[in-house]
Structure 1
Amino acid sequence: MKITPLDIRQKRFDTAVRGFSRREVEAYLELLAGEFEEVVKENIALKEELRRAQLRIEQYQERERTLQETMVTAQRISEDLKSAAKKEAEIIIADAEHQAEKIVHGAHQKLVQVVEDINELKRQRTQFESQVRSVVEAHRKLLETFSGPSFADRDYARVEDNVAYLSQKKATHGE
């Protein structure tokens, strides 16, 4: 059974011969009711404060759960980002290596082509020099042929000899 301050104020005692002083009992009951009323009010206030504190604690606990979930999510996202960045870096490196290989291969092909071109030019130079030597040699021989008595000069000398012979013969026979 709960006792309220009103219960204390309304409590009446039976009177007896030589009992307590009614005024003192009523004054004490009034004092007790006032004190009890203060205790009840304080109890109600403390219960309300406790309820508010429990609400705040629940809110803080909910915030803490939310923060923990956020931290776990952020950590997972961070790990995912790191993993994605690592994969992207690996892809970039692989692509760069592939491009470098293509560049080196292209440079090697160009080097091979340049060497082949140089060798072809050397071959053409040798062939050209040989052809020029052949032409020069042919012209030299031709010049040698023209520098000595030519065929026409020899034939002309023979013709002159024949004409002189015939003229002499004619002069010796026909005169």
Structure 2
Amino acid sequence: MEQRITVDSILDKKFSTVAKGFNQQEVDEYLDQICDEFDRRDAEMNTLRQEIAQLKAAQANGSNTVPQQTRPEAATDDSFREILEMAKRVKDQTIADAQTKASQILANAENEARQQLSDLTKQKEDLTAQVNSLKALAKSYYEQAQNALNGLSKLL
């Protein structure tokens, strides 16, 4: 059975984080619970309004019967307002946390890309130096072979 949502449960709600922010399913389920609680309280408010209307009608008719467990409508409105404010704060905090996490992920990706580019540039420079060294060595071998052939042709 689902737990009733209270102001304290909204304030104390902790969402687990995944690689790219909060667990979307967990947040959605929690918001669904809040909506269900609002629906329940809305139905309760409608019931209380009906009771108020009955009391007013009974008072107008001079009757002294009062239904049990009535409470002022203003308290219910305050509760709704309080829950809405808490839900807005949770939403705002979730968005802020997600934006912070996205900024961190982006900064990390940019730093990693810069580092990889730097590493690749160094590798390119090293390989270019090796290629130039091999070209010089090949040229040297070619010249030695050419000189050897010239020496042999003079002997013949």
Counterpart secondary structure, 2:136: helix
- Whether 2:92 is the aligned partner of 1:70: answer no
Determine what percentage of the aligned residue pairs are the same residue.
20
Q: Which runs of 5+ in 1 are unaligned?
A: 1-41, 144-175
Which ranges of 4 or more aligned residues in structure 1 deviate by more than 4 Å? 51-54
- Whether 2:88 is the aligned partner of 1:55: answer no
Give 1:119's match in structure 2, choosing from 120, 128, 132: 132
Q: When the two structures are superposed, what TM-score results if normalisation uses the length of structure 1?
A: 0.48
Q: How many residues align?
A: 96
Asked which structure has the greater RCO (Cα within 8 Å, sep 6+), the reply is 2
The within-5 A match list for 1:13-162 is: 42-43=61-62, 45=63, 47-48=64-65, 51-52=66-67, 55-56=70-71, 58=72, 60-143=73-156
Cα RMSD (Å): 2.2
What is the CA-CA distance between 1:113 and the residue it aligns to?
2.1
What is the CA-CA distance between 1:61 and the residue it aligns to?
2.6
What is the CA-CA distance between 1:140 and the residue it aligns to?
2.1
Higher Rg: 1
What is the CA-CA distance between 1:54 and the residue it aligns to?
9.6
Q: Deviations over 1:42-87 (max 9, x none)?
A: 53x2x43xx549925x1x3332222111111111111111110111
